């Protein structure tokens, strides 16, 4: 059976190494769900007044809730696959700057929650450094583009091109009179081996004949 509190403790423990690097011995950590709200730019999330009035930095990981057909909560999954940790810096002016919403919890108790834009957060990286949210988004986009371009880059930087595909097949039917010449760009590995070893191992008959003729004259 799904236990929300237990899962949140597991999520918190996954970030302990980052907190050690930050030198934060007793972090105030919560999990939140981000959402779009009409009339506001970008994603938002809610912080309870009880959380904000503590006057501490709040460390956050965002999650998405998995529900069944009856809308019953079945589990939670990370919003960011890389398990990104964020920080909301203590803001004593939260009541003036953020939109407030009221409601009642499952126990029927009233509460106040403030709508905070994700753009106000800082991203805490694995090495303990911090990025503004805009810097984090830019880096995330660049990393994704780099991963997409990597296979193509690796192919273009290969030590040797695919001679069989690029040269051998293209030149397999090539014939040349011994009195004619061919550009050096048509040279394949087999051609080079034929010349260096003085053996007729090329796929070009004219080159093999030339090699044998030169070998006879030695």
Residues 13 and 18: their CA atoms lie apart, in Å, by 10
The Cα–Cα gap between 170 and 162 comes to 12
pLDDT, mean over the chain: 84
* Both structure tokens of 9: 């403790």
State residue 59's pLDDT score: 98
Residue 195 backbone dihedrals phi, psi, to 5 degrees: -70, -45
Whole-number pLDDT of residue 199:
79
Kind and range of the H or E run holding 22: helix 16-22
Whose tokens are 């997409």? That residue is: 148
CA angle, 127 then 129 then 135, to 5°: 120
Please give the structure tokens belonging to residue 55: 């006057």
pLDDT digits (tens, 9 = 90+) for 105-137: 778 888 899 999 999 999 999 888 999 999 999
Q: pTM of whole model > 0.75?
A: no
* Residues in the chain, pLDDT under 70: 150-185, 215-218
């Amino acid at each position: 059976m799904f236990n929300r509190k237990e899962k949140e403790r597991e999520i918190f423990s996954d970030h302990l190494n980052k907190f050690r690097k930050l030198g934060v011995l007793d972090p105030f950590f919560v999990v939140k769900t981000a959402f779009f709200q009409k009339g506001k730019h970008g994603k938002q999330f809610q912080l309870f007044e009880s959380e904000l009035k503590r006057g501490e930095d709040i460390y956050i990981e965002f999650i998405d809730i998995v529900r069944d057909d009856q809308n019953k909560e079945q589990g939670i999954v990370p919003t960011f696959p890389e398990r990104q940790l964020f920080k909301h810096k203590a803001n004593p002016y939260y009541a003036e700057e953020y939109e407030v919403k009221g409601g009642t919890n499952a126990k029927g108790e009233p509460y106040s929650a403030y709508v905070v834009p994700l753009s106000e957060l800082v991203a805490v990286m694995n090495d303990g450094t911090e990025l503004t949210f805009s810097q984090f988004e830019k880096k995330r986009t660049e990393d994704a583009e780099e991963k997409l371009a990597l296979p193509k880059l690796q192919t273009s930087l290969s030590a040797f091109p695919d001679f069989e595909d690029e040269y051998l097949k293209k030149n397999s039917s090539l014939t040349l009179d011994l009195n004619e010449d061919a550009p050096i760009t048509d040279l394949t590995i087999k051609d080079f081996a034929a010349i260096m070893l003085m053996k007729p191992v090329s796929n070009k008959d004219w080159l093999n004949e030339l090699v044998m003729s030169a070998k006879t004259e030695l």
